[in-house]
């Protein structure tokens, strides 16, 4: 489910005043709240009244915070304590979705857990650590409508806090209007879309497994990491993207493909050979002139 793009007001409260500590996000017109809890501050959260509620929660891990476990509980305090004690559970941040009026039921969160797992798999933003699909209980139509709205608001709040678990990398509506850029140096055959999050390398893009250029081991390490995760595969001495993948910068994307240093603003070009740098400059001038 793509969050509708319209103006909204989001409030983020810092209980301790520390921007890297516990953060509480809410939309001013909604009763849904998301609490972001660093694992180091878990004890502080467990003392808060929000920890005594029925809740949907997300445990985020990975060096780049790209792995997530999705769960639900009728007593999120007890459940998070259990996760903290489990040696096999490697997580750094908990994101807890609750209601300001404490009116979520076990049926709500069971449905939301199943829906969230389904949506997270579809978006492929994060590596999902769940071993099952969750339990989707029989849900009356009015309650299902409430859950869909909760999921919509929760998705927005998660993305605002920096966890766009349910936001597609490329929206179907943008595919026809957003230009596709190509990186074709040194045997690379890649396509990408420049978004407000960075450069999305599109599924099917490929590059040689090795390079004759001066390079560093870190480029190979990142490639091997994505191979291990199944994001790219090896085919005929080339690595091929099995799904769309976001790099934070155009240069980060082109360096990954070329296995060496690169200026992505120059190495990404339109089909007509216009560099990303020149294209964005022209696009900026056009938009400014229209205002």
What's the CA gap between 271 and 155, in Å, rounded?
Answer: 35
Q: Is 4 part of a structural domain of the chain?
A: no
Q: Is 167 part of a structural domain of the chain?
A: no
Q: Which residues contact 270 (CB under 8 A, 6 or more apart)?
A: 179, 180, 181, 182, 279
Per-residue pLDDT of the chain (291 residues; tens, 9 = 90+): 455 578 889 999 999 999 999 999 999 889 999 999 999 999 999 999 999 999 999 999 877 778 999 999 999 999 999 999 886 678 999 999 999 888 888 999 999 999 999 999 988 888 899 887 767 777 788 888 999 999 999 999 999 999 999 988 876 545 556 789 999 988 999 999 998 889 999 999 999 998 877 777 888 888 998 999 889 999 989 999 999 999 999 999 999 999 988 899 999 999 989 999 988 876 655 555 555
Q: Is 3 part of a structural domain of the chain?
A: no
* Residue 120, strand partner residues: none
Which domain does 60 fall in, by range? Answer: 10-160
Per-residue confidence (pLDDT) for residue 5, from 0 to 100: 73
Tokens of 73: 């509980």
Task: Tell me, yes or no, whether 181 and 138 share the same domain.
Answer: no
Task: Tell me, yes or no, whether 126 and 22 share the same domain.
Answer: yes
Q: Is 2 part of a structural domain of the chain?
A: no
Task: Tell me, yes or no, whether 128 and 21 share the same domain.
Answer: yes
Task: Tell me, yes or no, whether 145 and 225 share the same domain.
Answer: no
Task: Tell me, yes or no, whether 145 and 186 share the same domain.
Answer: no
Angle between helices 106-123 and 141-160 (to 10 degrees): 50
Q: Is 191 part of a structural domain of the chain?
A: yes
Task: Tell me, yes or no, whether 245 and 155 share the same domain.
Answer: no
Task: Tell me, yes or no, whether 183 and 231 share the same domain.
Answer: yes
Per-residue confidence (pLDDT) for residue 88, from 0 to 100: 62
- Asked if 99 and 135 touch (Cβ cutoff 8 Å), the reply is no
Task: Tell me, yes or no, whether 83 and 224 share the same domain.
Answer: no
Give how many domains the chain has, as a whole number: 2
Per-residue confidence (pLDDT) for residue 290, from 0 to 100: 58
Task: Tell me, yes or no, whether 248 and 118 share the same domain.
Answer: no
Residue where a domain stops, chosen among 139, 160, 181: 160
Strands 67-73 and 127-128, bridge-based pairing = parallel
Q: Is 5 part of a structural domain of the chain?
A: no
Q: Is 227 part of a structural domain of the chain?
A: yes
Per-residue confidence (pLDDT) for residue 171, from 0 to 100: 67
Tokens of 56: 């949907």
Task: Tell me, yes or no, whether 20 and 97 share the same domain.
Answer: yes
Per-residue confidence (pLDDT) for residue 1, from 0 to 100: 46
Burial of residue 70 (number of CB atoms within 10 Å: 0-12, 13-18, 19+): buried
Residue with tokens 């740098």, as numbered in its chain = 277
Angle between helices 250-258 and 217-228 (to 10 degrees): 90
Closest by CA position to 250, among listed 201, 185, 187: 201
Per-residue confidence (pLDDT) for residue 163, from 0 to 100: 93
Residue where a domain stops, chosen among 131, 160, 189: 160
Per-residue confidence (pLDDT) for residue 173, from 0 to 100: 46
236 conformational bin, left if phi > 0, alpha if psi -120 to 50, beta if neither: left
Q: Is 24 part of a structural domain of the chain?
A: yes
Task: Tell me, yes or no, whether 180 and 275 share the same domain.
Answer: yes
Task: Tell me, yes or no, whether 178 and 95 share the same domain.
Answer: no
Residue where a domain stops, chosen among 160, 192, 217: 160
């Amino acid at each position: 489910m793509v969050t509708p793009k319209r103006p909204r007001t989001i409030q983020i409260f810092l209980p301790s005043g520390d921007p890297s500590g516990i953060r509480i996000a809410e939309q001013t017109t909604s009763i849904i709240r998301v609490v972001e809890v660093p694992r180091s501050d878990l004890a502080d959260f467990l003392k808060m009244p929000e920890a005594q509620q029925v809740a949907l929660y997300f445990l985020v891990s990975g060096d780049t915070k790209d792995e997530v476990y999705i769960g639900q509980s009728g007593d999120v305090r007890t459940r998070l304590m259990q996760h903290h004690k489990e040696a096999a559970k490697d997580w750094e941040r908990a994101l807890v979705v609750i209601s300001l009026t404490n009116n979520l039921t076990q049926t709500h969160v069971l449905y939301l857990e199943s829906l969230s797992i389904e949506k997270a798999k579809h978006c492929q933003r994060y590596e999902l650590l769940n071993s099952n699909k969750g339990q989707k209980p029989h849900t009356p139509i009015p309650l299902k409508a409430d859950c869909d709205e909760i999921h919509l608001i929760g998705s927005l709040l998660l993305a605002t806090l920096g966890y766009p678990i349910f936001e597609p990398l490329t929206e179907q509506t943008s595919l026809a209007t957003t230009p596709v850029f190509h990186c074709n140096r040194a045997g690379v055959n890649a396509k990408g879309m420049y978004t407000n999050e960075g450069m999305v390398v599109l599924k099917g893009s490929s590059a040689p497994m090795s390079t004759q250029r001066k390079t560093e081991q870190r480029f190979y390490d990142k490639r091997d990491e994505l191979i291990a995760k199944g994001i790219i595969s090896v085919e005929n001495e080339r690595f091929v993207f099995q799904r769309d993948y976001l790099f934070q910068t155009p240069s980060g994307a082109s360096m990954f493909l070329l296995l060496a240093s690169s200026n992505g603003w120059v190495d990404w070009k339109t089909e007509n050979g216009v560099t990303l740098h020149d294209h964005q400059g022209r696009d900026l001038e056009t938009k400014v002139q229209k205002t």
